[in-house]
Amino acid sequence: MPRGSENPFPDDDAATRGGWGRDHLRVIRDSAHFVSANLGTSLLVWLLVGIALALPAGLYLLERNLQDLSAAWDGRPGLSIYMDLGIDVAEVETLKTRLAAQAHVASVLVTLPDAALREFQAYSGLGDTLDMLSGNPLPASLRVILDSDAGASDLEALAALAGASPGVHEVVEEKTWLARVKDISTIVRRLSMVLAVLFGVGAVLVTASSVRLAIEARLEELRVQKLVGATDAQIRRPFLYFGAIYGAGGALVALMLISTTLLFIEGPLTSLFSSYGSELQLIGFDPAFLVVLLVLGGVLGVLGAVLSASQRIVALEIH
C-alpha cells in the first residue's frame, strides 16, 4: 500500500450507498421532533422572527399600494383659479400667458363667465330660472394642469404665484392629497428598505441565538457523533434545518400578522378611499408574495444557523 495521505481504510461500505439522502431524511425527522419537543421556545422564536419580518413586509405592501394608487389616478395635479367678478377679459388672458410660461405647466384652460353660465345651465337643468337673474353671478376661471413630473411643491409654488396675481379671487389646489401620495410612497419605500435591513439582521440574530441554544443543548450528542466519524457537514446539518424551520415559521407568523392587520384596517381604509372617490383595491398580498416571504424567512434562518453553527462545531472538543 502506498504511503500517501489517503484514508488507510478506503471506503468500501456498499451498505451506505444512498446514505446522504437518508441522512437528510433522518435529520428532518429529528428536527421536527426537536422543534415540537421544545414547543414553547419554538413558538417564541417564531413570534420574534415573525414580528421582525412583518414590519418591512407590511411596509412593502403599503408602498406598492400607494404607488399603484398614484399611478391609477388619471387626473394630474392642477389648480383652479377664480377671478374677481366683472374683471376684464384681457387681464384673464395676461394671467393665462404668465402661468403657461411656468415650469411643469402642461396646459391652461380659460373659462369666461358666459361660458361658465351656459355650462352651469346645461349641467344643473335650471336654465330658465337662471335667466331671471339680472347679471352673470359666475366669475371667470382658469384651470392649470401640471405635467406628470410635477410634485406637491411645484403645485404649491404655482398656487402662491397665482394667488399673488392681480384680479385673483381664490385659488383651489385640486386633489392635493393624492398629489402627495407619490411623495409619501417614496418615503415609505425608503423607510421599508431601511427597516428591511435592520429587521432582517434582527431575524438572523434571533435564529442565530436560538440555534446556538439548540447546539449547546446537544453538545454531548455532537461530541459522540464526531467521535464515531460524523463529518462537520453532518453535524451542522440539523441546525441548518432548525434555522430554516425557525425562519420559514417566522415568515408564516408574519403573514398572519399582516393579514390580521389588513382585516383590522380594512373598514376605515375603505371609507377613506371612497371619500376621495376611489375604490379600495389592495394589491400585492398574493401567492407570489407568500412564497417569496416564506423563502426569504427560510434563507435568513439558515443564514443565522450557519453563523452560529460554523464556529461552534469546528471548535468541538472531545474529552
Partner 1 sequence: MGYIELHGVTKRYSNGFEALRDLNVEFGAGSMTFLTGHSGAGKSTFLRMLLRLEDVTRGQLLVNGVNVTQLSKRQLPFYRRHIGAVFQDHHLLAGRSVFDNVATPLRVIGMPEKDIARRVRAALQRVGLLAKEKLLPLYLSTGEQQRVGIARAVVNRPRILLADEPTGNLDPDLSRDIMALFEQFNQVGTTVIVASHDRELIEASGRRIIELAAGRIVSDTPAMSVDMAVCDAPISTEEQWRAQGI
State which residue, 41 or 102, has the beta carbon closest to partner 1: 41
| H or E element at residue 220 | helix 219-227
Cα–Cα distance, 307 to 210 (Å, whole number):
11
Closer by beta carbon to partner 1, 8 or else 125: 8
Cβ(63)–Cβ(185) below 8 Å: yes
Residue 220 binding partner 1, by CB under 8 A: yes
The verdict on 1 binding partner 1 (CB under 8 A) reads yes
Q: Is 5 an interacting residue with respect to partner 1 (CB under 8 A)?
A: yes
Cα 259–263–269 angle (5° rounding)? 120
- What is the amino acid identity at position 89? V
- Between 227 and 256, how does the x/- string for binding to partner 1 read (CB under 8 A)? xxxxxx-x----------------------
The answer to whether the CB of 155 falls within 8 A of the CB of 179 is yes
For partner 1, give the closer residue by CB, 220 or 279: 220
Select from 13-21, 47-55, 124-132, 257-265 the region that touches partner 1 (CB under 8 A): 13-21
* 3-class DSSP assignment, residue 279: coil
- Beta pairing, strands 105-111 & 141-146: antiparallel
CA 158/CA 179 separation, integer angstroms: 14
Restricted to residues 16-45, the positions that interact with partner 1 (CB under 8 A) are: 16, 18-20, 22-23, 26
Among 102, 136, 209, 225, which residue interacts with partner 1 (rule: CB under 8 A)?
Answer: 225
Does the footprint of partner 1 cover residue 8 (CB under 8 A)? yes
Interface positions, 107-146, toward partner 1 (CB under 8 A): none
